[in-house]
Amino acid sequence: ALGWLGRITRNLARDRARGWWWSRRRPLATDDEAALRLVALEGRQQPDDALATAQLGVQVREALAALSEKQRGVLELREIDGLDYGEIAAALGVPVGTVESRLHRARKALAKRLERSLNKEDAP
């Protein structure tokens, strides 16, 4: 199970690979190209797909880092660690409703940051 964050990452990578921006990407240094070929072979991805996935991963990590500590923490507990709302509430010592509202705000903030980042990349 990929979880919410994994699905976002996969869907954004797929959408980006289909987009017009792909033909406008910057050339890579030789070392980067070799690393991407290796990743592509190991993951059975095409080199271009591996690049898109790597670039998107950087954008997701940057967007996560920009969230508040509370937002990032609750999102990581849910989407990365796989805890349910009750487990998160117990771990943080807060009511389940607080977990729900923090998750909602964290997801909304993450989506907004990713959208801004991706739109900035699309600008000519």
CATH code of the region 3-19+27-122? 1.10.10.10
In terms of pLDDT, which residue wins out, 71 or 124? 71
Enter the pTM of the model.
Answer: 0.56
What is the Cβ-side half-sphere exposure of residue 43, based on CA atoms within 13 angstroms? 15
What is the C-alpha to C-alpha distance for residues 88 and 78, in angstroms, rounded to an integer?
Answer: 7
Residues above pLDDT 90, as percent of the chain? 18
Q: Which residue did the predictor score with more confidence, 15 or 66?
A: 66
DSSP calls for the chain: --HHHHHHHHHHHHHHHHSGGGGGPPPPPHHHHHHHHHHHHHHT--HHHHHHHHHHHHHHHHHHHHS-HHHHHHHIIIIIS---HHHHHHHHTS-HHHHHHHHHHHHHHHHHHHHHHHHHHH--
pLDDT tens digits for 103-121? 999 999 988 888 887 777 6
Per-residue model confidence as pLDDT tens digits over 6-33: 666 666 666 655 554 444 444 444 444 5
Domain ranges of the chain: 3-19+27-122
> Which has the higher per-residue pLDDT, 83 or 49?
83
- pLDDT value of position 6: 67
The per-residue pLDDT for 103 is: 92
Q: Which residue has the tokens 């600008």?
A: 123
Q: What is the largest CA-CA distance in the chain?
A: 52
